[in-house]
Structure 1
Amino acid sequence: MTTTSRPTHAIAWRNAVFAVFALNGLGAATWAIRIPSIRDQLELPVSWVGYLILGVSIGSIVGLVLASHVIQWLGGRRSIAIMLVLCAVALLVIGVGTSVLGSFALVVVGMALYGFGSAICDVAMNVEGAAVEKVIGKTIMPLLHASWSAGMVIGTSVGTLLVFQHVSVGLHAAGMAVLLVLGAFLAPRAIPRVATHADTGEEVAHVSFRDRMSIWLEPRTLAIGLIALGMAFTEGSANDWLALGMVDDRGLANGEGAALFTLFTAAMMVGRIAGGPLIDRFGRVPVLWATGASAALGLALVIFVPIIPVAVAGIVLWGLGASLGFPVAMSAAADDPVRAAARVSAVATVGYCAFLVGPPLIGVVGEHIGILNALIIVFVLIVLATFAAPAARPPRGIRPATADAGTGTATDAPAAGAASGPSASEPMS
């Protein structure tokens, strides 16, 4: 058997995962940047926008609950390809529901389909990322999430241009759906068919259903989930409400709100590009403390200071601060490779609860006190997630292939016995 630790294979595998992250971000940007346009086209009140986004949240939660089982059954590569195609179909449904039929119900169905497909793809690509990170021996998870942010920046930039050019949501969604389908056929090809241990080349053992579910009783996994919860809420609240909040509460035009959301995604991308070396130098916990403080300060400026230049600075701090929490949580969840897929799925599920509870909560509260004021809820969760940062340290007896979090001691090569995550594209046995 060819092992996954060969450099040429690892490079191709890494690049494939980069591409999948970017495609996932591009798809998310397609519907997120058009929320104000969908709202206007369907003539929805603010609270209904929250319920519309709730479709994505419900689909995501269902997908995340099933993700580890789907990946165990189909394998990572096949799961990624199928779910990217499903996301493309979902974008078409959203576009037709908005621009052709004007159907709120159909758009909600499309959002739910997108959330389901994106969630399973999200877990699969994070497990693949954690696996290749161990093979390479350097922190690349933030850089992988930077690739997702790059996809978001490209998607939001294209979306902003199309908003100014008055291109319909339907045409926009159709074009992006074609790109996702092409990516689904091309990007996953370099991902290994069968997951193997990095040091021996032996296949990763099958993990039973009972074992996959037992991780929900692990305190460390749940604490890491709190980090993911707070930072997913921090990031997701910007995806869902930043553009609309600046339009409704600060009097900006739809295109200007979209441009500020693009700035947020760019700041996140910069933070993720810089994050890997910082984590290798200082460790996970100090970096999480620093980024949590940045996110809290930036969000406070956006909420409480009604001066647009100050809000712009706040958006940058918010984006930089939100950039590393979720990818670090994914790396921490995958420290022990034996049940990496199950733990990543659990942590992601806890994190995505932010997307389930957040949209309707912010929408309902925002209906009464304004969207930006409702983001105080997000501020509280940022603080809680920052206090939970020590949970990201590796458990005793597990030495990750990257930085020894919290000590500033970096490791340049995989530790003996390190293994890639259970992320094959064929059922594992």
Structure 2
Amino acid sequence: MHASFSAGTLLGAGLSSLAILFKVPVLVHLLLIARIEFILIFTFFRFLPEDTGKEDAVSRRQEVSSEKPVNVWTEPRTLLIGLIVLGMAFAEGSANDWLPLTMTDGFHVTHAQGTAVYGVFLTAMLIARIFGGAFLDRYGRVPVLRLCTAVSVIGLSLVIFSGNLTAAVIGVFLWGIGASLGFPVGLSAAGDDPKGAVKRVGAISFVGYCAFLVGPPVLGLLGEEFGLVRALMIVLIGIVLSGLVSRAVKPPASEKCS
């Protein structure tokens, strides 16, 4: 599912580059995309199974009657998973909102080229999310997540400190590879224990989307003061923190999954 999300954003970036190249007015572009989305949604939503997103009523009643309410915000493991997702979602959301402008301002490329570099990031995300499941099954969450954070740190460091366009593009690709699995792995880890899984996954999703919504404006404010390239250092710090607490995504001892 996350790979499909990345594929959609990659397609959107490609269409945006073409729109810029052919000087399509923004209003025309957005109205056309909105119409396509409307058609797609109302064509395919009816094929979703009727019980999608619903809980079994009997098991839910049993859980409510036999278990104490779960307060996920007091669970150390859930909070640490939230910290992981916060850092990695910030890394992804910052690229989604600021990477094209960072390339145009920091490396003096054209707007179409800046959007194309964003496409490099999305391509890396798509590749990693397609093949990441096999690596998670083979090596486990913690080693893979640590590798992802290391790769993302290397990539982002190239963008921030290299001052070279070619090195920065390579860095963007590594940044995308590294940032790809943090959110999906965090959601999976939050759902390990069936009891209270809905609340935990909801809490982790809330944290992740807060990072998507709040992080980029903060980065923009820092960018006005220090420049967007240097402002990315706060993203780098978030990724490092995610790596330091990556052990939190290890399944509980009672679970026989990796």
Instruction: Tell me if both proteins adopt one fold, taking TM over 0.5 as the criterion.
Output: yes
Pairwise CA distance, 1:156: 0.8
| Cα contact 1:285–1:390 (8 A) shared by 2 | yes
Pairwise CA distance, 1:189: 2.6
Deviations 1:54-105 (A, max 9, x none): xxxxxxxxxxxxxxxxxxxxxxxxxxxxxxxxxxxxxxxxxxxxxxxxxxxx
Whole-angstrom distance in 1 between the partners of 2:177 and 2:53: 33
- The AA in structure 1 aligned to 2:110 is A
1:221 is aligned to 78
2:138 is aligned to 281
Structure 1 residues 306 and 167, CA, compared in 2 at 3 Å: closer, same or farther?
same
> Which of residues 186, 205, 215 is equivalent to 2:60?
205
Whole-angstrom distance in 1 between the partners of 2:116 and 2:52: 42
Pairwise CA distance, 1:213: 6.9
| In the alignment, structure 1 residue 147 sits paired with structure 2 residue 16 | no
Whole-angstrom distance in 2 between the partners of 1:329 and 1:172: 35
SS in 1 for 2:60: coil
1:415 is aligned to none
Whole-angstrom distance in 1 between the partners of 2:59 and 2:184: 23
Deviations 1:359-414 (A, max 9, x none): 22211211121101000000000000011111111223344xxxx22xxxxxxxxx
2:129 is aligned to 272
Q: What is the 5 A alignment of 1:2-41? A: none
- The AA in structure 2 aligned to 1:361 is V
Whole-angstrom distance in 1 between the partners of 2:85 and 2:227: 26
When normalised by structure 1's length, the TM-score is 0.56
Structure 1 residues 360 and 213, CA, compared in 2 at 3 Å: closer, same or farther?
farther
| Cα contact 1:238–1:261 (8 A) shared by 2 | yes
Deviations 1:299-333 (A, max 9, x none): 00001111111111101100100111111111111
Whole-angstrom distance in 1 between the partners of 2:80 and 2:150: 19
> Which of residues 28, 34, 47 is equivalent to 1:189?
47
Q: What is the 5 A alignment of 1:58-73? A: none
Aligned residue pairs total 254
Whole-angstrom distance in 2 between the partners of 1:344 and 1:179: 31
| In the alignment, structure 1 residue 301 sits paired with structure 2 residue 158 | yes
Whole-angstrom distance in 1 between the partners of 2:53 and 2:91: 33
Structure 1 residues 203 and 152, CA, compared in 2 at 3 Å: closer, same or farther?
farther
Whole-angstrom distance in 2 between the partners of 1:301 and 1:166: 32
| In the alignment, structure 1 residue 160 sits paired with structure 2 residue 31 | no
Pairwise CA distance, 1:212: 7.4
Residue ranges of structure 1 left out of the alignment (5+ in a row): 1-143, 406-429
> Which of residues 329, 336, 347 is equivalent to 2:186?
329
> Which of residues 375, 384, 397 is equivalent to 2:232?
375
When normalised by structure 2's length, the TM-score is 0.91
Deviations 1:198-225 (A, max 9, x none): xxx88541577xx777212221111111
Whole-angstrom distance in 2 between the partners of 1:195 and 1:260: 36
Any runs of at least 4 consecutive aligned residues in structure 1 with deviations exceeding 3 A, and if so which? Answer: 194-197, 201-204
> Which of residues 341, 346, 349 is equivalent to 2:203?
346
Structure 1 residues 320 and 195, CA, compared in 2 at 3 Å: closer, same or farther?
closer
Whole-angstrom distance in 1 between the partners of 2:205 and 2:117: 27
Deviations 1:335-372 (A, max 9, x none): 12343332111011122232343222211211121101
1:257 is aligned to 114
- The AA in structure 2 aligned to 1:205 is R
| Cα contact 2:70–2:196 (8 A) shared by 1 | no
Whole-angstrom distance in 1 between the partners of 2:141 and 2:126: 18
| Cα contact 2:90–2:216 (8 A) shared by 1 | no
| Cα contact 1:195–1:203 (8 A) shared by 2 | no
1:244 is aligned to 101
Structure 1 residues 314 and 183, CA, compared in 2 at 3 Å: closer, same or farther?
same
What is the root-mean-square deviation of aligned Cα atoms in Å?
A: 2.2
Whole-angstrom distance in 1 between the partners of 2:26 and 2:136: 40
| Cα contact 2:152–2:174 (8 A) shared by 1 | yes
| In the alignment, structure 1 residue 363 sits paired with structure 2 residue 214 | no
Residue ranges of structure 2 left out of the alignment (5+ in a row): none
Whole-angstrom distance in 1 between the partners of 2:183 and 2:84: 7
Pairwise CA distance, 1:161: 0.6
